[in-house]
Structure 1
Amino acid sequence: MSSGPKQFLLEKAAGIALADFVPSPCISVCRMDAATGTCEGCYRTLDEIARWSSASEEEKFAIWNDLLQRAGTEP
Structure 2
Amino acid sequence: YRNCLRKFHYGTDTQVLLYLARTHYEAEQWQDCKKTLLRAIHLAPSNYTLRFDAGVAMQKFSSSTLQKPKRSADE
**TM-score > 0.5, shorter chain as reference:** no
With the length of structure 2 as denominator, give the TM-score of the two structures: 0.35
Task: Please say which structure displays the higher CA radius of gyration.
Answer: 2
With the length of structure 1 as denominator, give the TM-score of the two structures: 0.35
Structure with higher helix content = 2
Structure with higher strand content = 1
Larger relative CO (CA 8 A, sep 6+): 1 or 2?
1
